[in-house]
Structure 1
Amino acid sequence: MSSGWIRRFHPAPEADTRLVCFPHAGGSATFYFPVSRAVSPGVDVLAVQYPGRQDRMYEPHVDDIPTLADRITEELVHWADRPLTLFGHSMGATIAFEVARRLEARGTVPLGLFASGRRAPSRHRGEQVHLLDDDGLIRELRRLSGTDAEVLDDEAILRMVLPAMRSDYRAVETYRYEPGPPLNCPVIALTADDDPLVDVAEARAWAQHTVAPFRIRIFTGGHFFVSAHAESVVGEITRHIEAAMTRR
């Protein structure tokens, strides 16, 4: 099964379950290559590729979360023959939440939603990074340390990736939570103690968005703590999946 939206770096056709990974703003599916390598072949990893980057560079950007969630859900229903766990970092966590809502409305309840580096959907900040000029956007990227230094220092590459980054920032900064039923799947919030975009209270507020168990883990570091704590994050994912599959 092939799709412009889904990348399988280490296909695991015999796996009993799948992990769907949603990138951050400006990110791409390859951000999750190490995760795929770490959990395969026990888990089949589906990394989402948004339009406007890498091999989808020349496709129109999608700059609103509901449309992204609608389109990704339409793709994922074809992969829902096995239990799905959703993992999203930063903007990806918000998209994963909206996809989980849509999947549950269709009768597919995920094994769990990992919301990493993002405040709860009902917690809003008036951010307007997408309105900054290119220099301002680059300063924000440096502040968050989410883009490799060589990319930030290469003007040609920067000019290629800035449109996707601006579109993603517009999507996440203009997103407004629409009240609705809470999720039926567990939610696991992963956050850091020095993340300028999320404080612990905002991360704990994810508990309000599920009737299933909720837990939070706080790491040291900044917004991209997932890279510094990759082994621990993968451990959180695999332990949750194993426990959830045992209970089925």
Structure 2
Amino acid sequence: MTVAVSDDVLSRWLPFRALTGAEPGALPLYCLPHAGGAASAFRMWQGKLPGVAVQPVQPPGRESRHREPPYERMPQLASDLADAVLADVETSAAGRRYAMYGHSLGALVAFEVVREVRRRGGPQPVHLFVSGSDAPHVTYEDGPMVRKMNRDEVVELLRRLGGTPEWLLADAEALEMILPAVRADFTVKETYLYQDEPPLDLPISALPSRSDPRVTLAKADGWREQTSGNFARHLFDGGHFAVFEQAPRTHRIVAEALRPWV
């Protein structure tokens, strides 16, 4: 299926589109960041996966898109990102084959993008990787709603989760730049309403962490119910950002799962 998305819009969603360091025909892997996160979270993954073109996704409201208002609801976010993914896939030398990786909020967004593509009759990814996230259909208990927290409470939450440099949390001017995207992203999560649909017909790999303060292993295991294909769980030691802190292991897991397609 052909999706009309301008090169300008596509380059905003995929700011490192031409800088993957991968050979022509490499399998695109669209990587979606955590709440408040940006494409740079996956920048160092480029060139680390043989035969794979890592494509970090840049949601609006941060980094190169900091002047654009961030999304606050899942349906529009998933629909617009599905447009971009489909447009890029249609022009890819990989022959409409691709994979998706989402961390934390990015896992839920990736899941909803895949389901949106399926509703449109588009090509499904060869694999979906999720980390730092409960399964979409389970009841999550994250504590107080972040969108209702004051600035100090949000900062303390980010500090507890890790992944945000301390210098940034201590810089009032820098905080004013990142907090709108953080609040908007948590609003996407906190207003998300799971709709029951048939399981995806593709393999899913979950990469949870033992000491993640916001994700229990039991609820992460619920991802197996979202596929009629193969499910694999790869357990990490560490907290919410263990897959980034132990990037070489993450790369090995992803590369092995994608080996049949590259």
TM-score computed with the length of structure 1 as normaliser: 0.94
Whether 1:57 and 2:66 are equivalent positions in the alignment is: yes
Give 1:213's aligned residue: 230
Give 1:95's aligned residue: 109
Aligned length: 244
Corresponding residue SS for 2:168: helix
CA distance in 2 between counterparts of 1:11 and 1:77 reads: 21
Runs of 5+ unmatched residues, structure 2: 1-6
TM-score computed with the length of structure 2 as normaliser: 0.89
- Which of 118, 124, 128 is the aligned partner of 1:113? 128
TM-fit CA distance, 1:11: 5.0
TM-fit CA distance, 1:199: 0.8
Specify the code of the residue in structure 2 equivalent to 1:34: M
Could you give the per-residue CA deviations for residues 86-115 of structure 1, whole angstroms, max 9, x where no partner exists?
A: 000000000000011122232312111001
Could you give the per-residue CA deviations for residues 126-161 of structure 1, whole angstroms, max 9, x where no partner exists?
A: 441121011110010001012111111211111110
Give the 3 Å change call, closer, same or farther, for CA 228–11 of structure 1 in structure 2. closer
Whether 1:160 and 2:177 are equivalent positions in the alignment is: yes
Give 1:5's aligned residue: 13
Structure 1 segments, 4+ long, off by >3 Å, are none
CA distance in 1 between counterparts of 2:21 and 2:113 reads: 22
Specify the code of the residue in structure 1 equivalent to 2:56: A
CA distance in 1 between counterparts of 2:203 and 2:20 reads: 26
Specify the code of the residue in structure 2 equivalent to 1:167: A
Corresponding residue SS for 2:128: strand
- Which of 83, 98, 102 is the aligned partner of 1:84? 98
Give 2:80's aligned residue: 71
Specify the code of the residue in structure 1 equivalent to 2:11: S
CA contact (8 A) 2:20 2:47 kept: yes
Give 2:243's aligned residue: 226
TM-fit CA distance, 1:200: 0.8
Taking every aligned residue pair, what percent have the same amino acid on both sides? Answer: 35
Compute the RMSD of aligned alpha carbons.
1.5
Corresponding residue SS for 2:254: helix
CA distance in 2 between counterparts of 1:6 and 1:68 reads: 15
